[in-house]
Structure 1
Amino acid sequence: MTGARDFGFVRRAADGTTAPIDRAVAVEMPVAIEFNGIGYAVLMATPQHLEDLAFGFALSERLIDRAGDVLDVVAHPAAAGVIVRVTLAKRVAGRIADRVRHRASESSCGLCGIENLEQALRPLPRAVRTWAGDEDAPFRALAALDALQPLGEATRAVHGAAACAADGAPWLVREDVGRHNAFDKLIGAMLRRGQDWDCGFALLTSRCSYELVEKAVLSGCPMLATISAPTTLAIERAAAAGLRLRVLVRGDALLAIP
């Protein structure tokens, strides 16, 4: 499936002149994910690299521990979007029902609400690696990223997630209208290829939210860099897990959170 479609617009200039133009618009549609026949989540996503998305999302949800836990991924076009059916190995299948129960009761209150809060902030493992790369690496990664985002260049409406070497060279990029989806696609692509962060880091074209921090930690990433600011919870979760953060990355400056 394509990640963009052309639409006709009328361009209106400040001087009052108008002209018809065609412009690429990022595709956003519902992507329903099923695990072992159980409806799990509906993501609003760009329908590219959906197998990567399935692997990365499953890891981020702690349904799998490794690529071999995913036995099959099949995407089925539907009238309103896409259904991605994922088959997980028997050894992890029991996790699905438990997570579905917590996800289905997110709007509950009282004791159930307390349980949901605990689930939302489940303890993270300690980061498996400590960042010890080149401190100028995020600047190099940022300078190279635009050229590696064809969908972003065409639409200016999607997020990018890049896996970068320790010296800042991006070696794998995924894009999506959703920042979480873009990162899940990147993590899933790495998982499917059997590649790890190898002392490198992730650069995301988004704010640094706690969900992205958790995805980084669970994927074994030693450092997360983002072009926008962090939230308090992102900083706290990163500190607890030992994940290094570099935020508000610009061409001439960044903020380092040890």
Structure 2
Amino acid sequence: MTLFNTTATAPEIARRNGVVRTATRVVPEEVPIAFSYGGSTHAVMMGTPADLEDFAVGFSLTEGIIASMAEIESITVVAEGAGLDVQVTLAEDKEDALRARRRHMAGPVGCGLCGIESIEQAMRPVPDVSAVTMALSPKEVSEAVAALNCAQPLHRETHAVHGAGFYRPGKGLVAVREDVGRHNALDKLAGAVTREGVKGSAGVVVVTSRISVEMVQKTAILGSPVLIAISAPTALAIRTAEAAGMTLIALTRGEDFEIFTRTDRITTGVVADVA
């Protein structure tokens, strides 16, 4: 559901090849998006006002509020002044458990660790995906990124949002979500995949951003054994992926990419030249 426009037109002064002229540019909208459970606000994120039901499901999953879709009874999106309130009704036992946590988060764009109350929570263990079998060819790695690049209408229009896609070997890219925040895009993707009843272990997560630790955490919670990105990972992201048994692929450029963990899931060409 979309209650706000996802883009706006902004006037600008453009300088191109030494020539200055007036112009307009299409830019993405960014609004406060609140997640409320049982009538109480739990988190406020800044994000793109689209795919909000997916966002609610994905956020609830990756924050550990729910373990499955069956624990959500309803989702209602309400316009609240300059923002949106996504009102989620949980099963009674989950409502009670969330109330006991007494957490409130409010933060900047796509802050995947907003509201974390301790170092231990920030460094929470991630699900183990080491037993998930998957074989990808180098061609499929490149195809997954190329397909994501071609499936981002909002980015094509604005050049200012991130994308997250779910690629299934043999089936191609089956879901894509976009947002101004990279964590938001991944949460939306997790929600979309879950709502479709597809297991995360059946595919690969592909993102247009760098790989920080929370991107690894969210991918592991979804259950995907492979995370592919066009940018570089942090050291903590690599260590976390290794601990989770996840294959981490980054800096994907055409047919070139770098594998940091669990290289055995790539079928050929992993070690082509060792100097």
The alignment's TM-score, normalised by the length of structure 2, stands at: 0.84
Query: 1:102, 1:116 within 8 Å by CA — same for their partners in 2?
Result: no
Alignment of 1:96 onto 2:98: yes
Equivalent residue, structure 1, for 2:255: 252
Aligned partners of 1:198 and 1:219: how far apart in 2? 8
Query: What stretches of structure 1 move > 6 A for 4+ residues in a row?
Result: none
Equivalent residue, structure 2, for 1:234: 237
Give 2:125's aligned amino acid. Answer: P
SS of the equivalent of 1:162 reads strand
Aligned partners of 2:43 and 2:145: how far apart in 1? 32
Equivalent residue, structure 2, for 1:28: 30
Q: Deviations over 1:183-205 (max 9, x none)?
A: 00000011111112353201000
Give 1:173's aligned amino acid. Answer: V
SS of the equivalent of 1:254 reads strand
Q: Deviations over 1:10-46 (max 9, x none)?
A: 222242x322222210111111111112211110100
Q: How does 1:40-55 map to 2 (within 5 A)?
A: 40-55=42-57
Aligned partners of 2:138 and 2:100: how far apart in 1? 41
User: What is the Cα deviation at residue 117 of structure 1?
Assistant: 1.1
Alignment of 1:179 onto 2:182: yes
Alignment of 1:222 onto 2:225: yes
The counterpart of 2:145, out of the listed 139, 142, 146, is: 142
Change (3 A) 1:167 1:135: farther
Query: 1:133, 1:200 within 8 Å by CA — same for their partners in 2?
Result: no
Q: Deviations over 1:28-87 (max 9, x none)?
A: 111111111221111010000001000000000011111111111111112221111111
How many residue pairs get aligned? The number is 248
Give 1:56's aligned amino acid. Answer: G
Equivalent residue, structure 1, for 2:273: none
Change (3 A) 1:61 1:115: closer
Alignment of 1:59 onto 2:57: no
SS of the equivalent of 2:232 reads coil
The alignment's TM-score, normalised by the length of structure 1, stands at: 0.90
Higher mean alpha-carbon deviation, 138-147 vs 215-224, is at 138-147
Q: How does 1:198-213 map to 2 (within 5 A)?
A: 199-213=202-216
Aligned partners of 1:178 and 1:151: how far apart in 2? 13
Identity fraction in percent: 40
Equivalent residue, structure 1, for 2:271: none
Give 1:210's aligned amino acid. Answer: V
Aligned partners of 2:100 and 2:245: how far apart in 1? 28
Equivalent residue, structure 2, for 1:162: 165
User: What is the Cα deviation at residue 102 of structure 1?
Assistant: 7.9
The counterpart of 1:84, out of the listed 71, 83, 86, is: 86
Aligned partners of 1:54 and 1:35: how far apart in 2? 10
Aligned partners of 2:52 and 2:127: how far apart in 1? 27
Q: What is the alpha-carbon root mean square deviation over aligned residues?
A: 2.0
Structure with more helix by fraction: 1
Give 1:217's aligned amino acid. Answer: A
User: What is the Cα deviation at residue 167 of structure 1?
Assistant: 4.6
